[in-house]
Amino acid sequence: ADPAKYPDKSVKQSVLAALKVRYRHIDTSLRYGNGLGEREVGEVIHESGILREEIVVVTKLYNVFRGPEDVEVNLVISLQNLGFG
**How many residues are listed for the chain in this entry?**
85
Burial of 54 (0-12, 13-18, 19+ CB in 10 A): exposed
Enclosing H/E stretch for 56: strand 56-58
What is the set of active-site residues? 32
Backbone angles phi and psi of 81, in degrees to 5: -55, -45
What is the Cα–Cα distance from 45 to 31, expressed in whole angstroms? 19
